[in-house]
């Protein structure tokens, strides 16, 4: 009799955690006890990062210090920028981020120190520097010089500024800030689990974040937001959206990106915020066609398959309305999720035991070795 649980570790509880709570039936998501709906309305990404790492909302002084640390650590070594310039221009932004984060550890003064204090400093630098890496690659691949970070702007506004060279509108900066808050953590999702497994070997913050980036890259996880926008670009005419979805869903194996979830049985609580923001930014730019098309797709998919939108469905429409390139959507997800990965690495290190599950062996037994010249 097999001892293997459901495939994909479905419903397996691997650890306790005080960071994130999901109620998949009610569609609730809490960070450290705070509803993401409240955080999306009242908080900032910087404050949410503090909450995830420290477990409580900051005082004015704590927030000011934390914001300052995140704003003044944005610069990356010119040597890292020089190394990025050596990469082939066709390298995808997610591959560049994976390589770039690995390089950042070579220039981090705390690289060899795994104490709690050093890990918080490394997490601060990574959260501050990942947007700089992402924006630098965007400029380099277009043959333009990277734009230096502006420490007077919020993390969200500064990223948009480094990407485009223009200060974003207030609505764009706040939309992006809310998107970062909503993506910051999500319990034991695949990339966070990968980061925790790496941390549990007593490896370091940068290595755990690189593991997280590798896992996030796949289209079943963070890569889905990019796939949603590629689908929208393929459909082209909003009037064709309904027939495209109905035709493709008739094929049993067809996966429509931005829908379904391992934990939620209702709409992902983050999706409604991103839907509203996609329409608001689209309206400001005078084009809501992408948001409308995705809304049509959502209506039809839910009607036909009884599966609901997840976080990746509308984020792309909001980013596309700000003229952000489609293949940067998943690196943007990583720029936010690094906050959650770091919180989980800190928690793992605070009470560590190696994560080492078993498999049930179903291969051959007692195979007898035949020398090469007799095979």
Q: Supply the residues annotated as catalytic.
A: 261, 312
Buried b (16+ CB within 10 A) or exposed e, 132-142: bbbbbbbbbbe
Segment interacting with ligand CMC, rule: CB under 6 A, options 66-74, 163-171, 230-238, 249-257: 249-257
Tokens of 9: 């570790």
Query: Cα torsion at 309, 312, 314, 318 (round to 10°)?
Result: 170
Window 223 to 242, contacts with ligand CMC (CB under 6 A):
224
- 101 vs 274 by CB, closer to ligand CMC: 274
Name which of 222, 270, 196, 208 is nearest 16 in CA terms.
196
Structural element, H or E, at residue 316? helix 312-321
Segment interacting with ligand CMC, rule: CB under 6 A, options 159-167, 197-205, 218-226, 340-348: 218-226
Segment interacting with ligand CMC, rule: CB under 6 A, options 99-107, 170-178, 192-200, 216-224: 216-224
Looking up tokens 């909450």 gives: 51
d(CA 185, CA 202): 22
CB of 209 to ligand CMC, least distance (A): 16
Using rule CB under 6 A, residue 220 touches ligand CMC: yes
Neighbours of 283 (CB within 10 A): 13
d(CA 201, CA 64): 34
- 75 vs 305 by CB, closer to ligand CMC: 305
- The alpha carbon of 116 is separated from its chain's Cα centroid by a whole number of angstroms, namely 23
| Count of residues that bind ligand CMC according to CB under 6 A | 19
CB of 231 to ligand CMC, least distance (A): 11
Three-class HEC string of 176-198: HHHHHHHHCCCCCCHHHHHHHHH
- 20 vs 81 by CB, closer to ligand CMC: 20
d(CA 84, CA 74): 17
Window 258 to 287, contacts with ligand CMC (CB under 6 A):
258-262
Segment interacting with ligand CMC, rule: CB under 6 A, options 54-62, 82-90, 254-262, 359-367: 254-262
User: What residues pair up with 28 in beta bridges, in sequence order?
Assistant: 23
* Binding mask of the shown chain, residues 2 to 31, with x at each position contacting ligand CMC by CB under 6 A: ------x-----------------------
- Pick one of 199, 256, 317, 322: the residue that binds ligand CMC (CB under 6 A): 256
- Pick one of 32, 139, 221, 275: the residue that binds ligand CMC (CB under 6 A): 221
CA distances to 86, 134, 139, 150 from 162, rounded to whole Å, are 21, 9, 9, 8
Cβ atoms 181, 45 nearer than 8 A? yes
* Binding mask of the shown chain, residues 322 to 351, with x at each position contacting ligand CMC by CB under 6 A: ------------------------------
CB of 240 to ligand CMC, least distance (A): 19
* Binding mask of the shown chain, residues 148 to 187, with x at each position contacting ligand CMC by CB under 6 A: ----------------------------------------
What is the DSSP annotation of 317-362?
A: HHHHHTT--GGGHHHHHHHHHHHHHHHHHHHHHHT-----------
Q: Which residues bind ligand CMC (CB under 6 A)?
A: 8, 189, 220-222, 224, 255-262, 305, 307, 310-312
């Amino acid at each position: 009799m097999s001892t293997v649980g459901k495939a994909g570790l479905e419903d397996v509880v691997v650890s306790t955690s005080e960071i994130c709570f999901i109620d998949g039936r009610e569609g609730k998501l809490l960070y450290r006890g705070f509803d993401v709906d409240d955080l999306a309305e009242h908080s900032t990404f910087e404050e949410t990062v503090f909450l995830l790492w420290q477990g409580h909302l900051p005082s004015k002084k704590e927030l000011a210090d934390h914001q300052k640390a995140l704003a003044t650590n944005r610069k990356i070594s010119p040597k890292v920028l020089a190394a990025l310039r050596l990469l082939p221009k066709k390298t995808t932004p997610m591959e560049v981020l994976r390589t770039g984060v690995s390089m950042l550890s070579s220039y981090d003064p705390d690289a060899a120190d795994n104490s709690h204090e050093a890990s918080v400093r490394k997490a601060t630098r990574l959260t501050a520097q990942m947007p700089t890496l992402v924006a630098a690659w965007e400029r380099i691949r277009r043959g333009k010089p990277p734009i230096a970070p502006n420490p007077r702007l919020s993390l969200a506004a500064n990223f948009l500024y480094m990407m485009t060279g223009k200060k974003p509108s207030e609505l764009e900066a706040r939309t992006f800030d809310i998107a970062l808050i909503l993506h910051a953590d999500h319990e034991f999702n695949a990339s966070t689990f990968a980061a925790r497994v790496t941390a549990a070997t007593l490896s370091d913050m940068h290595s755990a974040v690189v593991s997280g980036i590798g896992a996030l890259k796949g289209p079943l996880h963070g890569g889905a937001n990019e796939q949603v926008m590629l689908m929208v670009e393929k459909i082209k005419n909003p009037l064709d959206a309904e027939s495209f979805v109905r035709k493709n869903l008739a094929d049993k194996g067809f996966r429509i990106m931005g829908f379904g979830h391992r934990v939620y049985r209702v709409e992902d609580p983050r999706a409604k915020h991103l839907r509203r923001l996609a329409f608001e930014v689209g309206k400001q730019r005078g084009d809501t066609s992408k948001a409308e098309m995705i809304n049509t797709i959502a209506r039809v998919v839910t009607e036909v398959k009884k599966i609901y939108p997840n976080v990746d469905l509308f984020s792309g429409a909001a980013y596309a309305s700000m003229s952000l390139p489609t293949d940067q959507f998943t690196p943007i997800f990583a720029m936010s999720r690094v906050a959650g990965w770091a919180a989980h690495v800190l928690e793992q290190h605070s009470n560590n035991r190696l994560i080492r599950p078993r498999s049930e062996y179903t291969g051959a037994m007692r195979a007898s070795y035949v020398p090469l010249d007799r095979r």
